[in-house]
Chains A and B, each alone.
Chain A
């Protein structure tokens, strides 16, 4: 059994990992992958890190990607384009709340479209 993955992109590794911890307290089986900070773990975002997180999170059911501010969105979009994965979606929703909703929906065995729709309904 595999689930729709959730990717957390933040300028700060601590923020991304912190949200991962929050979700993990409730949702155990859904892949939640953090891509926080630059390659050197400084403040920023990294296309490579994001791509790796997407690959880990996508276990065959696709993944939804959440980001914080500034470069995170552009780097998220580029990472998705470069990995040429069709079943990965960059979401327009608050990072913490959006990813939490997505993880809960995914844990209920929803497919990627349904997970994305639930997030969009809540925050769109």
Chain B
């Protein structure tokens, strides 16, 4: 299976849809251990990104991902802007000239995305940030041989749930230290929705 340009557009659309639906939940998560604006920020960012790509007549997945990245960077307004922006920008670079996007290319792109996020946020695994979803997902893609919607959704949910047991040492939640224990990291939750959206697009194809 490979992702067509339309699939990639559908992925961003679906991500937006899922994030809009869960906007209040994301905000609730962020109110517990952050500044309470995560839901509003990512909802605004993805709304704008979906609107931006709806206008374009795209012939390459890389362009869809690049426009998504640039919009998220300038519209989110919180730390997840540069982080999600970097992730989609790295994906864009990796899939450039590879339409439709095959599994190996996408997997390479995810690895690049994780490296980009870690470098930008100066974070590593286990610090209760969105790295804790993107990194295990990149590893998961490396272990598998092809896109599998159900497994992707399950893996992303597990990774998100794992952040509950972590103590935040990076990002705004780090100010709360041990008080962040037992709470799901908001950035991991929105990242989980992005992978869930991808899973839905893949599920719809098979």
Interface residues of A (CB under 8 A from B): 38-39, 42-48, 69-71, 74-75, 77-78
Tell yes or no: B77 within 8 A of A by CB: yes
Q: Annotate B136-162 by CB proximity to A: 1 below 8 A, 0 otherwise.
A: 000000000000000000000000000
A47, A48, A74, A77: the one within 8 Å of B83 (CB): A74
Query: For residue A45, which residues in chain B have a CB less than 8 angstroms away from its CB?
Result: 77-78
Query: For residue B172, which residues in chain A have a CB less than 8 angstroms away from its CB?
Result: 69-70
Establish whether residues A42 and B77, one from each chain, have CB atoms under 8 Å apart when the complex forms: yes
Interface residues of B (CB under 8 A from A): 35, 37, 41, 73-83, 85, 120-121, 171-172
If the complex has contacts A45-B77, A46-B74, A48-B74, are A71 and B82 also in contact, measured as CB distance less than 8 A? yes
If the complex has contacts A70-B172, A71-B81, are A47 and B37 also in contact, measured as CB distance less than 8 A? no
Establish whether residues B77 and A46, one from each chain, have CB atoms under 8 Å apart when the complex forms: yes
CA of A47 to CA of B81 in the docked complex: distance in angstroms? 9
| Chain A: minimal CB distance from B64 (Å) | 20
- Considering only CB atoms, which chain B residue lies closest to A78 in the complex? B82
| Chain B: minimal CB distance from A92 (Å) | 12
A38, A47, A69: the one within 8 Å of B73 (CB): A47
- Considering only CB atoms, which chain B residue lies closest to A76 in the complex? B82
Establish whether residues A70 and B79, one from each chain, have CB atoms under 8 Å apart when the complex forms: yes
Establish whether residues B78 and A44, one from each chain, have CB atoms under 8 Å apart when the complex forms: yes
| Chain A: minimal CB distance from B190 (Å) | 14
If the complex has contacts A43-B37, A44-B37, A44-B41, are A71 and B74 also in contact, measured as CB distance less than 8 A? no
Per CB-CB distance, the 7 closest pairs between chain A and chain B, nearest first, are A44-B77, A71-B79, A38-B77, A74-B82, A71-B78, A70-B79, A70-B172
| Chain A: minimal CB distance from B150 (Å) | 34
A48, A70, A78: the one within 8 Å of B78 (CB): A70
Q: List, sorted by A's number, 17 A–B pairs whose CB atoms are closer than 8 Å.
A: A43-B37, A44-B37, A44-B77, A44-B78, A45-B77, A45-B78, A46-B77, A70-B78, A70-B171, A71-B78, A71-B81, A71-B82, A74-B79, A74-B120, A75-B81, A78-B82, A78-B120
CA of A71 to CA of B75 in the docked complex: distance in angstroms? 12
